[in-house]
Each structure stands twice: as C-alpha cells, then as structure tokens.
Amino acid sequence: MRAEDFPTTALGGARHVPGGGYSAYYPSPLPRGIAYSNELVRQLDEATGALHRLGGVGRLLPNPNLLIAPYVRLEAVLSSRIEGTQSDVADLLRYEVGDEESLGELRDDVREVRNYITALDHGISRLRGGFPLSLRLLRETHERLMTGVRGGHATPGEFRRSQNWIGGSSPSDAAFVPPPASAMTDALDDLERFLHDRSLPLLIHLAMAHYQFEVVHPFLDGNGRLGRLLIPLVLIERGVLPQPLLYLSVFFERHRNQYYDLLMATSRTGDLAPWIRFFLRGVSEQAADAEERTVRLVELQSAVRAELLAERAPVSAVRAAELLFSKPYISASSLAKDLDVTFPTAQSAIDLLARRGDLVETTGRKRNRFYFSQRIFDAVYGMNPEASDEQASLFDADPIG
C-alpha cells in the first residue's frame, strides 16, 4: 500500500507506521453531517420509502417465525459467498435437516453460512433484550460467526492485536492496510459513538457505519461478513424493520467488484457520495424484492392451507405444509422434532403431502429418507420471472440432484 495513493482527506489518510516499514490507513472520526445533492436527496427518499413499505408488510406477516427464515438464509448465503464460499441455499437446507452426507467438500462452506445465521440471531436476541448496539455486542457476534470454522483460529470475539491487510502477501505490498492495532482503539470508540448518533438520516448513517467498519477492520478475520451483519442489526435496533427482512448482500454480491471498488475509492478520495448512492440503490432494489417476495409467500401459504383444509387433511399435515415455507427440505425425523409429534405421525403427514405432489423423496432409500418441495422452494427462493440471468444465477440450486 503506497501512502501517496491514499492522501489525507476529511475521512483519514495513509501514513508510515513507526517501526513497521510500511504505510497504513488512519481513519478520522466519521463526520456527523454531509452535503446533499439533488440526486442524493432523490435516492434517499426512494430508498427510505421502499424500506418503510417493507417494514409495513413485515408487520403483517401471519407467522413471522415461519416466514422469516428464507430472508435470513439469503443474506447468510450471499454475504458468505462474497468472501469466497461456494455453497448455495439448497446446500444450507440439506445441512439444517441433517443431510450432511450429500454436501461433500461443501460441508465447511455451509458451516460458515450457518454460523452467520447463529451470529445474526444472537445479535437480534441481545438487542431485543435491551442490550445496546455496542463494541461488546460486535465482539459477541463475531465469536459466534467465527467459532469452529475456517478462520476460527483468529481469536473469535477479540479485536486484533496485530496488523492485518487486504490483498498482497504482506502489509508492504497490500492493496489496503487498516490502522495498526495501536491506533485502532480511538477509531472503534468513535464508531461506537457514531452508532448511537442521530444526526444523519438512518440510511446515510448506515452506509457510513458500514464503510467505517470495513476501514477499521477490527478483527483478524470475518470483517466483511460482520460489517454486512451490522446492517440488519441497526435496522432492527432503530425499529425500522420488525425482522431481518432486508437481504442487502444479494445486491453486494451481484455488484461485487463495484462494492469493493467504491469502498476503496472512498478512502482514496474522501468522497462518501458515490458509495452512499450505491448503498441507497441497493436498499431500494432489495427492499422492493423483499416486499414482493413477502406478498408471494403469504398468498401461497394461505392457498396451500385452504386446499388442505378443504380436503379435510389432518392438522399434522396442515402444520407440516406451513413448515415447508421455512424448511422446504425435510425428513420425518426433523419434522417430528419441529412439530413435536411422533415419527409415525410425521411420516403420515409427509406421505399425504407427497401424494398431493407437494413433496418428492430425493434419496431413493427405504430408510433415512429426505423430501423436497420444489413448488415452495421456487416460491420462497426463486427470482421474479422478469429477473435477469445474472440475478437468477445467484439462486441456482438443485436440491434433488
């Protein structure tokens, strides 16, 4: 990293690290105000409206505990994919139901994705219990994100005490070097104060907080995922969304190069506007997608329930069908546990749904069988018919094959 590539601006600048033989970026405290162009005001208004519409729809969910899981899985899979994992939603569903045998070399990737969900659940639970959004909460969340997976050796839950870097083989030839550990404390303290500041519109505040977290890079590993995980935590802490409905990592993955380039360019130029406009565009697009997806799920769930009730299906089958919207890949054992019924009752419900065509057995075995609902998977995780091939590829999966 060359210091001349990152001249000093209002956001910070690169300078030589005493005794280190390399340069690092020293961030300044985040500004509590920015200049607003007409275009920025227009985008902010559009993104804020889309986010509030999504929040309104989310508050009308008839059973949020069942219907929220797809949104969390989408965010977890795509945030992890940005960091290089190869697993998709179908792999995660297999893992959750206990079908690890089919994952092969993807097992480690899926564990990383599952840790993302565990970390997000922990953060939300703590916030709802009254715990403040703080550096301590970020450390707790990081511990759950990184324990037991690749990078788990890198002190999960602890801020780094040594230098890290992005790109290259050492700080001297890296693309970007965050502040040394000795200078990191002041930056983190300011970030914590910024998280509680209310001077800026929420979405601009959130874009800036995400940028600054990535600049500080306070952990040895997992910074990208935790920085993106910070987004739903802030939205829930502020009461804008009742659940983590906004899967913004879908947008970041789709525009991965631009995402990284804009974060880097912001540090080079000190100009936050291009990054903020990109962030607001992502919020607008993904909030609209989540709103449409939520309406689609509620309508289909209501239709399936009405069909089963008209057929005088047992309550266990109706409950099983509702569960498929959260878990479209199941086994009799997993269903029995989720519904708190006996194995025969669970198997009977599965058999009924299979006769209706709602489930297909995927293994061909007589025992330890797994079942998949293509119809519900497509409704829950599929893209709009008008989606581009590039967008649709983000959800490619073949759970049966």
Residues 98-124: pLDDT tens digits?
A: 888 778 888 889 999 999 999 999 999
Token pair in block for residue 128? 């709802």
Cα angle 241-187-199, degrees, rounded to a multiple of 5: 45
Q: For residue range 306-325, list pLDDT tens digits in order.
A: 999 999 999 999 999 999 99
Classify residue 378 as left (phi > 0), alpha (psi -120 to 50) or beta: alpha
Q: For residue range 149-161, list pLDDT tens digits in order.
A: 876 577 899 999 9
Sketch out the chain's domains with CATH numbers: 3-286 (1.10.3290.10), 291-393 (1.10.10.10)
At residue 393 the predicted structure's pLDDT band, cuts being 50, 70 and 90, is very low
pLDDT score for 316 = 96
**Average of pLDDT values for 267-279?**
97
Residue 384 has pLDDT above 60, yes or no: no
Token pair in block for residue 271? 């100009």
Residue 281 has pLDDT above 90, yes or no: yes
Residue with tokens 């992005």: 166
- Per-residue burial over 283-314, b if 16 or more Cβ lie within 10 Å, else e, is bbbbbbbbbebbeebbebbeebbeebeeeebe
Q: What percent of the chain has pLDDT over 90?
A: 74
Residue 266 has pLDDT above 70, yes or no: yes
**Average of pLDDT values for 12-32?**
95
Of 98, 95, 119, nearest to 106 by C-alpha is: 95
Token pair in block for residue 251? 């947008």
pLDDT score for 399 = 45
Residue 400 has pLDDT above 70, yes or no: no
Q: Phi and psi dihedrals of 23, rounded to 5?
A: -105, 150
pLDDT score for 79 = 92
Contact (Cβ atoms closer than 8 angstroms) between residue 227 and residue 210: yes
pLDDT score for 30 = 96
Q: What percent of the chain has pLDDT over 70?
A: 94
> Taking the CA of residue 56 as centre, how many other CA atoms within 13 Å lie in the half-sphere pointing to its CB?
8
**Average of pLDDT values for 51-80?**
87
